[in-house]
């Protein structure tokens, strides 16, 4: 039996909506494979190369982009971000649920290349709570927080281009909702072409079967 094809799941949301925390709670034993993005920004305390991001110079990022090594790329608060292509392709071929945690601009770029991608927008409870989360991180100055809040108000305008919206009021509940979404997506007919074709039974002769009913029920 061939390995079922996997799925590309994109999770976006304003900075401070809890994307990173939610994504890290998705269980690898359920088939999730977390993609690692490339960025030119400096690592935050506790972040590691290859686990949280591939932290690279601007020169290396541009070289990767120019050799078609990125699925998408964007500028966010003065830094470059992008998704390495090879990992995503390989994991989907292995049947994995590849999860990309990326900004809205990048998500919409990828949607053009992967029409079957599942786009989920993670929402904070409200803009006040978002501001508090950004402030409590204590990793950015007031000007950067202001930029992120303005960016959030603009990003929310694109919710209608996503497939689902998940409120992240409580992390475990948000994770459960994402698991439900992924489970439902795997049941869609276009993701099960083999099952549909088998049931159609093009080689099955209905007339001959009807003639053999008496014999079959003896």
Q: What length does the chain have? A: 218
CB 73 within 8 A of CB 81: yes
Check residue 1 and give its pLDDT: 47
Beta bridge partners of 164: 120
Nearest to 13 by CA among 150, 152, 144: 152
Compute CA distances 6 → 10, 64, 65, 90, 206, whole Å. Answer: 13, 25, 25, 10, 35
Element housing 22 (H / E) = helix 19-24
What pLDDT is attached to residue 41?
95
Instruction: Locate 81 and state its tokens.
Output: 């971000």
Per-residue pLDDT, 51: 84
Closest to 35 (Cα-Cα) out of 8, 73, 17, 74 = 8
Q: What is the pTM of this model?
A: 0.75
Which backbone phi and psi does 177 adopt, to 5 degrees?
Answer: -65, -40
Q: Which of 114, 82, 84 is nearest to 9 (CA)?
A: 114
Per-position pLDDT tens, the chain of length 218: 455 689 999 999 877 778 888 999 999 999 999 988 899 999 999 999 988 899 999 999 999 999 989 998 888 889 999 988 888 888 898 999 999 988 888 899 889 888 899 999 998 876 666 667 666 666 667 777 777 777 777 788 889 999 999 998 899 999 999 999 999 999 998 888 777 666 666 667 777 777 777 776 66
Sheet of 97-101, strand order: 32-34, 97-101, 7-12, 118-123, 164-167
């Amino acid at each position: 039996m061939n390995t079922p094809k996997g799925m590309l799941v994109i999770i976006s949301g304003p900075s401070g909506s809890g994307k990173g925390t939610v994504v890290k709670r998705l269980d690898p034993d359920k088939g999730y494979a977390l993609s690692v993005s490339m960025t030119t920004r400096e690592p935050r305390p506790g972040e590691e190369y290859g686990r949280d991001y591939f932290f690279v110079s601007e020169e290396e990022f541009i070289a990767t982009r120019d050799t078609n090594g990125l699925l998408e790329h964007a500028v966010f608060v003065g830094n470059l971000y992008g998704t390495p292509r090879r990992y995503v392709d390989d994991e989907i071929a292995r049947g994995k649920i590849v999860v990309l945690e990326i900004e809205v601009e990048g998500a919409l770029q990828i949607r053009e290349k992967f029409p079957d991608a599942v786009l989920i927008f993670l929402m904070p409870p409200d803009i006040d709570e978002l501001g508090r989360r950004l402030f409590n991180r204590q990793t950015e100055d007031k000007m950067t927080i202001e930029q992120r809040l303005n960016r959030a108000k603009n990003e929310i305008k694109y919710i209608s281009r996503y497939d689902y919206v998940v409120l992240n009021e409580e992390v475990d509940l948000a994770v459960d909702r994402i698991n439900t979404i992924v489970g439902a997506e795997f049941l869609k007919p276009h993701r099960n072409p083999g099952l549909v074709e088998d049931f159609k039974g093009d080689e099955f002769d209905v007339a001959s079967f009807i003639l053999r009913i008496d014999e079959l029920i003896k």
